[in-house]
Amino acid sequence: MSSHNGSSNGKVVPAAFPPPVDSPKEFVKRGLDPEDELIEVGVAIVGGGTAGLACANRLLQLLGDDPETMERLGEVPVAVVEKAKTCGGHNLSGAVMRPGPLQELFPDMTREQWREEGFAFGEVTKEAVYLTPTSKMSLRIPTPPPFKNHGNEVVSVSALARYQQRQAEEAGAYILTETSATQLIVEGADATGSNMGDGLRVVGVRSGDKGRGKEGEPLGNFEPGTDIKAHATVLAEGCWGHLTGAAIREFDLAAGREPQVWELGVKEVWKVPKPLDRLIHTMGPWPLKISTKYGQIGGTWIYPMKDEKTGEDLVSIGFVVELEYADATTSAHDLLQTFKTHPLVRGILEGGERVAWGAKALPGGGYWAMPKLSMPGAVLVGDSGGMVDTMALKGVHHCIKSGMLAAESIYAALKRGSQDFSNYEDAIEQSSVGKEMWEVRNARQPLQKGLFLGGPLSGVQQITKGKLPGRAAWHRNDSKPMFIGNTKDSYVKPDGKYTFDKLSSVFITGNATRDDAPNHIRVQKRVPRELAETWRWMCPAGVYEIPEDAPETGVVDVIVNYTNCVQCGAITAKGGRLTTPEGGDGPLYQIT
């Protein structure tokens, strides 16, 4: 039980210090501007990642064979609103992709052509899984079923999104890059139930203002946002979608679901002197703590990448940690740097050069935490709908498949003059997305008890492929009491050559957020030291600082260096809220 000051058994609960946000008032706009002040499109897709662009491309394929419906959707049948400088600029994943959905989307392309285009890096032919009991020891184990990747493809989702963008533009999509979607526009019955029309429905989104100063004041280059009216809206914002959260609240899409939970991944790409010949995963426990007191669950990947364009041998390496942990000094970035000192990893990376870095949160709640995927006038796709199988570390193929299914549902509805896209939910359930998510629906939850207590229970769920009945519960990440532990004491000191600090890592992302931009991160600025330390260590980009003269216990000030932010979204899991930055701000990922 939490007390009024947010403490629980002497620990601090992040949920007791909610961010200063009024979602219905700030992020939902009720009614459209006059017709002469808005942009009208057929379908508005918010997010130019793999899911959103799969939706755009599939929709344009269908419309290309149906000129009558294409014409009814107007001059701009499909528009993609993307906040980064280019599609893929904020996208990051491991990633090893099951190839089926992408082959279905672009059936005329071979996998060799994927590699020639620069977003794919080779088929998996060998793989290995290790336990790392200590900083020096590794034990190879039989590959667990979720980690079997033979025949899958190593990809870069940022590069894949740029390819999908080119295809969509060639097919007639209007891509609005450097444009944040800041408000969901609804019409009909309002949140209080008063009737403004024939029922609440989404009618589009509003783009964000540009050219405001730190305090929100208009600068000399100020440009106001614009209403984008659409027959259908697709929320493909990825993890921690700004408008997705607003839609879930406005339309009660999480009713009867488990709370979503989250994980944070930090990734590097290295140019290496000799090729890695297999896919590698490690399952710890080192460098994490074994004791359930710390609440740490995570693992790593090391993937070979052969760049067909340059002939270079690359390696993708990353560390993922569940945001369920209790030790405030847990840092995914520092855990990755420490993991790199293991002999298993040094033998792969030494003599190489780090060429990319990035970080991203991902939804980990699985099937039971997926919200309702449709509402009048809009749908959720990909990570916005929680479609990630974190047991197998797989989500890219679900993003693509869900985008395609959304396109087909929207096309069929618009063809008959409807905004009811509810059959999309049935299509997901019957597809590979729904079936794969169902099989592991109860497999992740036991790990909340720790690897050794929960591991056997999780294994039974995986082996039986969902045949055991029941529904395993989740609890919110921000309800976990935090304490200041000693995980930090085991982190390596960065040397700037093989191990790196946070700020030098942010630098190589191409982050170009201007210094006088408005703050897009919402947190309370005076919080208990335990919570301030949680934010400071968790953030991979060094956004949160505690003044040097702050007291060691009690309430402290928090400094927010929001221009460092790489849009990972982890803060929302532990008591804060990430909102959209000004369009064009944030990282510019190339090969993540």
Query: pLDDT tens digits, residue range 464-492?
Result: 666 667 787 777 899 999 999 999 999 99
**Distance between CA atoms of residues 467 and 226, nearest Å:** 50
Look up the domain containing 85 and give its range. Answer: 23-92+162-259+366-441
Which pLDDT tens digit goes with each residue over 78-119? 999 999 999 999 999 999 999 999 999 999 999 999 999 999
Distance, in Å, from the CA atom of 242 to the CA atom of 581, rounded to the nearest integer, reads 10
Q: What is the pLDDT of residues 145-185, one digit of tens each?
A: 889 999 999 999 999 999 999 999 999 999 999 999 999 99
Please count the helices (runs of H) and the strands (runs of E) in the chain. 15, 29
CB 402 within 8 A of CB 236: no
Measuring CA to CA, how many Å separate 240 from each of 444, 533, 540, 579? 20, 22, 16, 9
User: What is the token pair recorded at 91?
Assistant: 């996208």
pLDDT surpasses 80 at 52: yes
pLDDT above 60: residue 9: no
Number of structural domains found in the chain: 1
CATH number at residue 219: 3.50.50.60
- pLDDT in the model for residue 193: 44
DSSP letter string over 513-525? --TTSPP-EE--S
Q: Tell me: the pLDDT tens digits for 303-352?
A: 999 999 899 999 999 999 999 999 999 999 999 999 999 999 999 999 99
Task: Output the six-digit token pair for 446.
Answer: 């036991």
Question: What number is the average pLDDT over the span 242-246?
Answer: 95
Q: Is the pLDDT of residue 450 over 70?
A: no
Q: What is the DSSP letter of 288?
A: S
Asked if the structure places residue 191 within a domain, the reply is yes
Is 69 among the domain residues?
yes
The pLDDT, as a whole number, for residue 43 is 98
- Residue 281, pLDDT > 60, answer yes
Average pLDDT over residues 403-407: 98
**414 is a domain residue:** yes
Q: Is 436 exposed, middle or buried (0-12, 13-18, 19+ CB in 10 A)?
A: buried
Asked if residue 98 is part of any domain, the answer here is no
In a domain, 370, yes or no: yes
Using CA atoms, how far apart are residues 35 and 398, in angstroms rounded to an integer? 37
pLDDT of residue 103: 98
pLDDT tens sequence across 521-565: 999 999 999 999 999 999 999 999 999 999 999 999 999 999 999
Query: Which tokens belong to 555?
Result: 């309430």
For residue 397, pLDDT over 90 is answered with yes
Domain for residue 339, yes or no?
no
CA 405 to chain centre: 20
Task: Examine the pLDDT at 404 and tell me if it is beyond 70.
Answer: yes
Question: Over 70: is that where the pLDDT of 437 sits?
Answer: yes
pLDDT tens-digit map of 62-78: 999 999 999 999 999 99
Q: Report pLDDT for 191.
A: 43
Q: What pLDDT band is residue 3 in, cutting at 50, 70 and 90?
A: very low
For residues 296-302, average pLDDT = 95
* In a domain? residue 343: no
The reported pLDDT for the residue numbered 2 is: 38
pLDDT tens, position by position, 197-243: 358 999 999 999 999 999 999 999 999 999 999 999 999 999 878 99
Q: Give 261's pLDDT tier (boundaries 50, 70, 90).
A: very high
Domain presence at residue 177:
yes
Q: Where are the beta strands (DSSP E) in 307-384?
A: 313-322, 353-363, 374-375, 378-380
587 confidence band (pLDDT: 50, 70, 90): very high
pLDDT band at 192 (very low <50, low <70, confident <90, very high): very low
Taking the CB of residue 499, how many other CB atoms lie within 10 A of it? 18
Q: What would the mean pLDDT of 381-396 be, rounded to a whole number?
A: 92
The HSE-up count of residue 34 (CA atoms within 13 Å, CB side) is 2
Cis peptide before 573 (omega within 30 of 0): no
Chain-wide mean pLDDT for the chain? 93
SS3 per-residue string spanning 501-556 = CHHHHHHCCCCCCCCCCCCCEECCCEEEHHHHHHHHHHCCCCCEECCCCCCCCCEE
